Amino acid sequence: MRTKHSSAGGVLVVILLLIGIPIYFCAWLINEHPIIAVGVVGLVGGAILRGILAARERRRALISYYTSMIANAKAIVSTYGAELAIRRKQLTITLSYGVVDDSKWCEEIEFFIDNVIVPAGYDIRSSPPCLEVVRRAITSATNHFAASRLCYAPDMDPTDYEVMVADALTDLGWQTRLTKGSGDQGIDVIAEKSRKSVVVQCKRYASAIGNSAVQEAHAGKSFEGAEYAAVVSNAAFTRGARQLAKSTGVILLHHDELAQLETKIFTADAMPTSACERA
């Protein structure tokens, strides 16, 4: 205990000396050499003032730098806005009970920042506040993602094709949700209307669709507890696939025939013949 008090006393003495000696020197200088004292005060004051002005200038330059960086980053986001909206639509999945899983989209935001914005010369990650502003800008630029639409292209990505089919069904009055892609038993879209549910497998193929797609759709119907199953494709279906679909009740459609899905389910007696089934 005595040692602690001794150490504390020593520290106090040092502090008093560090404060007292300069004060004593200044008082002596003012009394003995007032002109020199004024000069010293002027020099010290000038140095302090220059330091304050330099610090203020550095702060202004830094603010200007980050403001410019944010503006340029937002311009990049605007350039890729439509593409980002499509990616958000692809990566935002609605699970059972209306639970929304956007974890993949959050990862995509960071990917976009690191691989598009930062390489353009804007080190957004050097400033957490700026990084958050850019994240919010990406979110704001893609808020319309639910209304974005893809047009069919022969070389479109299979995931884009699934989104296109889901969008088309949504526009026809169905409530749709895309599956996560793993553990979905081959089902890509689940659609509901008038208390009827249908699981949809989407196939963008260059050749005719065979039996396996029909089998997977039929199995997916049981797995999801849906009343109906459908396979939607850009291609025709083989004879074997059409025969299996007829025996299992799986609906086969070209994506241009999606308007017929409701007719095939709700008015089976008036069911028109599908162009794919004629192929």
Tell me the three state secondary structure of residue 267: coil
178 in a structural domain: yes
Residue that wins the pLDDT comparison between 89 and 120? 120
| pLDDT for the residue 131 | 94
Residues 230 and 135 in one domain: no
6 in a structural domain: no
For residue 219, give the nearest of 252, 251, 187 by alpha carbon.
187
**How many domains does the structure of the chain reveal?**
2
177 in a structural domain: yes
| pLDDT for the residue 245 | 94
The CATH number that applies at residue 218 is: 3.40.1350.10
Residue that wins the pLDDT comparison between 273 and 194? 194
Residues 134 and 182 in one domain: no
| pLDDT for the residue 91 | 84
Angle at 199 between CA 195 and CA 203, to 5 degrees: 150
Last residue of one domain, picked from the residues 146, 180, 208: 146
3 in a structural domain: no
Distance in angstroms (rounded) separating the CA atoms of residues 202 and 189 = 8
Residue that wins the pLDDT comparison between 57 and 31? 57
| pLDDT for the residue 7 | 66
Distance in angstroms (rounded) separating the CA atoms of residues 233 and 19 = 85
Residues 170 and 268 in one domain: yes
* Domain coverage including residue 100: 72-146
Please determine, for residue 268, whether its predicted confidence score (pLDDT) is greater than 60: no
Residue that wins the pLDDT comparison between 65 and 181? 65
33 in a structural domain: no
CB atoms within 10 A of CB 251: 23
Write down the mean pLDDT value for the chain. Answer: 83
| pLDDT for the residue 149 | 81
| pLDDT for the residue 218 | 94
Residues 264 and 175 in one domain: yes
| pLDDT for the residue 270 | 43
Give residue-wise pLDDT tens across range 158-209: 888 998 999 899 989 999 988 876 445 679 999 999 889 999 999 999 899 9
| pLDDT for the residue 197 | 93
Mean pLDDT on 85-113: 87
Please determine, for residue 116, whether its predicted confidence score (pLDDT) is greater than 50: yes
Residue for token digits 């009055």?
Answer: 173
For residue 89, give the nearest of 114, 74, 108 by alpha carbon.
108
CB 135 within 8 A of CB 105: no
131 in a structural domain: yes
Residues 210 and 110 in one domain: no
Residues 98 and 119 in one domain: yes
String of DSSP letters for 229-244: EEEEESS-B-HHHHHH
Last residue of one domain, picked from the residues 114, 146, 178: 146
Residues 197 and 235 in one domain: yes
Give residue-wise pLDDT tens across range 128-165: 999 999 999 999 999 988 787 878 888 888 888 998 99
Angle at 167 between CA 161 and CA 171, to 5 degrees: 145
Distance in angstroms (rounded) separating the CA atoms of residues 121 and 7 = 54
Please determine, for residue 271, whether its predicted confidence score (pLDDT) is greater than 60: no
